[in-house]
Amino acid sequence: MRNIALKLMYNGTAYHGWQVQKNAVSVAETLQKALVRVCGDAEKLTGCGRTDAGVHAEHYVANFRTGSRIPVERLPFAVNTHTPEDIAVSAAYEVPDGFNAIGSCRKKEYTYRIYNSHVKNPFYVNRAYFYPKHLDEAVMDRAARAFEGTHDFRAVRSVGTETRTTVRTIYYCYVNRSGDLLELRVCADGFLYNMVRAITGTVLYAAEGKLAAGDIPRILASGNRTLAGPTVPPGGLYLTKLWYEDERLNG
């Protein structure tokens, strides 16, 4: 059995996240069906992480095992003929048997996009969070940077998948603006359930004057979810970068 890693991207609007669901369409299920049609078999499809319903991925890695001898360079085109337009495989590589898309991933970057204009933009529906009141990106950036470092992030996670520890390391977290589009970019060694969306909601609270950047260390130390900001909608969230020892998979 060969172990194949895929680089792909998807618009998550139509899906109930990456993970296979019993009663909802997921990205993994849709991709698995396409792989079976191309390879005849496709076992143990593993993604680099869970993305929630409506969340997008500009860069995603998954791996699977197959007995098919189809050349890896032909896989992307073949698979893409059997996937909807909102899922696209860009590259495929044969990887060592011990490679695992989630376990071998060293760090990830998520980007949350906010369309900050008094007039809504139809082209950003389900692709950015529309926020009509002007936001001060300098205030937001100061609040975002307060999350950097190694902390217990219980205060910015939703109840969901249980984890062994809620301590994570954020390597960078910052906000920048390009015209009406604001982006919060955060890179960490791992993320808790809804962590990025809760961080973004807390940064928005800072912009609204409901808390200050200096309050964030205290909020994190408390572990109290009610002290942080709300969980913002999923449509503005994208998985944007991944880091692996195998540099072919980075992006």
Catalytic residues: 52
All residues at 6 or more sequence positions from 218 whose CB lies less than 8 Å from its CB, including other chains: none
Beta strand 149-152 pairing with 56-66: unpaired
Handedness of CA 23, 27, 28, 31 (dihedral sign): positive
